Structure 1
Amino acid sequence: MKSDCIKLPAGFLAGLQRIGIAPHDLAHNARLPLTLLIKPAEVTTAQYYSIWQAYADLIGDTATGIIKLITNFETAQYPPPVLATYHARDYRDALHRMARYKQLCPPERLRITEAGEICTIELNGMPNAEPGPPVLVGTTLAFLLELGRRGTGKPLSAKSVEFSHSMGDVAPLEAYFGCPIRIGATSNRLTLHRRDLDRLFLSYNNELLEILTPVLDRSLDEPFSRSVAEMVKWILKRSLAGGRMTIQAVASELGMSDRTLQRRLIDERTTFKQLLTQARHEQAREYLADPKLDIKEVAFLIGYEDQNSFYRAFRLWEGATPSNWRSEYVRVKPVDIDPLT
């Protein structure tokens, strides 16, 4: 079973800030804790979709959001799987590497087909998964063309682009892709001129590929070793601030029924309630260790609606109040102070 883990690229927030999107505004609109976005972190599919939808809402127009992000994201900030595509030998090699390494960054998959004078790239979601926000779908397809443009140094145009959902004002998208945009299609699809796939990449770097390729290939081949209990706790930790998490909601995230999840947890000698308590306890300690977060905010971040309930729970866990625990933690592990400040 694959984990519902999506790693946010380290440069993602920097790219958004470059176009005027502040991290705290994104976190507020996505209804997620700011700490989840500031650190390069893993999020669930639902949280990933919420982040993209929040971005679209802040920009105000899907097409504008797609073009702004694609054209302002610096190549140096590409994560390793994407960097490997940028340094490919030619456009065809880059696209096939992208399709392969996209498995390291769910929830979509790419299917590439070459026939006659065209190359079709279809964007498919994971089985039984909700479709992603239009801005995410559009950005994914636009990036595939942007990759070819940056790699070859040529102003490549697509032959056609199809989207299953509305993309706002399509005129800017048609200008960007250099072709007609069709809305209401049965799938999301980018069609390229096949001759462009033979174009060599100016950014080709064989030495770097020899380093990146084995590492990425090993990542693809590694079996997922986390237990079901570990996956449940992982999902809970990243969902606590969004409201009370039920076993039905977590089971849905894992692609199983709540009864199946209950049986799996019993097999691992634990329960959903125990894992929820552990998740809250562990997150509470992590947040309290950060002096920038006040205790009321910590209570909210781990899913408590009022501070008193959090205090009672924390005393059961640690035998001390959150404020006393924090004071002891700071005393044992003092924060470094810059003598120049």
Structure 2
Amino acid sequence: MKSHITDRIKLSPGFWAGLRHLMIADYEVARHARLPLTIITEPEVTTAQYSAIWQAYSDLVGDTAKAIINLATSYETMHYPPTVLATYHARDYRDALNRMARYKQLCPPERLQITEEADCCTIELEWHNSEQSGPPMLVGLTLAFLLELGRRGTGQLLTARNIEFSQSMGDVKALEAYFGCPVRIDATCNRLTLHRRDLDRSFVSYNEELLEILTPVLDQSLNEQKQGRSIAEMVKWIIKRSLTSGRPDIQAVARELRMSDRTLQRRLSSENTSFNNLLTEARHEQSREYLADLSLDIKEVAFLIGYEDQNSFYRAFRNWEGDTPSNWRAEHFGVSNKSIGGIG
């Protein structure tokens, strides 16, 4: 249970560079997603922020299919994180896909289920902590990367048997031309079906020495993640994700963690904290993050961390920082109170 609840997603150093390659500025994506510009330099984001980034990117590009194909084919291998880089140096396509499914656990929210039967290999894309699929752009790109993995690794223009999407993906004809197979929309799941015979194809990029370096490191990271983080960490991240919809309560968080509120209280107590303490910490941390985005006024910041009025936020922030939000922002970012507005 511990590993699948995580709400932290690590962004590779090349993540934003890959988006910029298609002539869309990272700050435009952040603004369209209504996220603080500081998100561009953050090594980790929440699942909600990750989804918002991909949805914003898709909106800015226009056609989802076009964005998927352009990014899948133009993203340079050097920008890939170690979890993906290791798959490009696997022995063959089957080894690469199995490594991808295994190391995908290190970078949720997606997970891959691979099944081989008869002359087919099906790869089903599942979504963590939700019965719904993720943003169409991210879903399509994830499956496109799996085919692109085989094409780059083998050096051959492999095609799929078929591909299914649960949501609209834009220009279906363009996707069919890219995948080389029929594309079904409004399916019950997101699934890529490959020719099983292709899985035996050797990778021209096979590098045994590099794998001997990368594999132990990735396996250790995976084992550490499976041990899970503390309940307090998980609760705080769930709270942060829920702040914009108002003040989250312990019952809702406990349900997401699949335990009773009494059990959650007991687990938090054993870690020397409480739900209210974590709520306060989450609001404090998020307030600093949002105040770093000078395009947000104080009223918006108050709303984003779950306060119904500015005065309540004002009093809370004074308790946290010993100063008003406007003064704190002016001191840390070198702008005057008049230029940024707000209270205090």
Q: Say whether the fold is shared (TM-score over 0.5).
A: yes
CA distance in 2, matches of 1:201, 1:47: 35
Deviations 1:190-226 (A, max 9, x none): 1222222222212211111111101111122224343
Deviation at 1:325, TM superposition (A): 6.0
CA distance in 2, matches of 1:325, 1:184: 49
Change (3 A) 1:291 1:176: closer
CA contact (8 A) 1:4 1:254 kept: no
Query: Is 1:69 aligned to residue 75 of structure 2?
Result: no
The residue number in structure 2 matching 1:337 is none
CA contact (8 A) 2:68 2:137 kept: yes
Deviations 1:44-72 (A, max 9, x none): 3x332222222222222221221122122
The residue number in structure 1 matching 2:132 is 130
TM-score (norm 1): 0.82
Q: Write the mapping of 1:235-254 to structure 2, written as runs, cut at 5 A.
A: 235-237=238-240, 242=244, 244-247=246-249, 250-251=253-254, 254=257
Q: Write the mapping of 1:315-326 to structure 2, written as runs, cut at 5 A.
A: 315-321=318-324
CA contact (8 A) 2:36 2:293 kept: no
The residue number in structure 1 matching 2:118 is 116
Change (3 A) 1:109 1:285: closer
Change (3 A) 1:27 1:251: farther
How many pairs does the alignment contain? 328
The residue number in structure 2 matching 1:105 is 107
Deviation at 1:94, TM superposition (A): 0.6
The residue number in structure 1 matching 2:154 is 152
CA distance in 2, matches of 1:88, 1:180: 28
Deviation at 1:177, TM superposition (A): 0.4
CA contact (8 A) 2:90 2:205 kept: yes
CA distance in 1, matches of 2:327, 2:109: 43
Greater shift, 257-266 or 136-145, is seen at 257-266
Tell me the amino acid that sits aligned with residue 58 of structure 2: A
The residue number in structure 1 matching 2:25 is 22
CA contact (8 A) 2:46 2:237 kept: no
Greater shift, 210-219 or 115-124, is seen at 115-124
Change (3 A) 1:129 1:38: farther
CA contact (8 A) 1:152 1:200 kept: yes
CA distance in 2, matches of 1:52, 1:122: 20
CA distance in 2, matches of 1:153, 1:100: 23
Of 41, 46, 54, the residue aligned with 1:43 is 46
CA contact (8 A) 1:6 1:106 kept: yes
CA contact (8 A) 1:23 1:38 kept: no
Deviations 1:227-253 (A, max 9, x none): 22222223445665x453412554455
Query: Is 1:83 aligned to residue 98 of structure 2?
Result: no
Q: Write the mapping of 1:1-341 to structure 2, written as runs, cut at 5 A.
A: 1-2=2-3, 3-44=6-47, 46-126=48-128, 129-222=131-224, 223-237=226-240, 242=244, 244-247=246-249, 250-251=253-254, 254-256=257-259, 260-284=263-287, 296=298, 309-321=312-324
Specify every segment of 5 or more residues in structure 1 that has no aligned partner in the other structure, as ranges: 331-341
Change (3 A) 1:189 1:285: closer
Q: What SS does structure 1 have at the residue aligned with 2:164?
A: strand
CA contact (8 A) 2:65 2:171 kept: yes
CA contact (8 A) 2:92 2:199 kept: yes
Deviation at 1:178, TM superposition (A): 0.8
Q: What SS does structure 1 have at the residue aligned with 2:160?
A: coil
Tell me the amino acid that sits aligned with residue 7 of structure 1: K
TM-score (norm 2): 0.81
Greater shift, 265-274 or 76-85, is seen at 265-274
Q: What RMSD in Å do the two structures reach over aligned CA positions?
A: 3.2
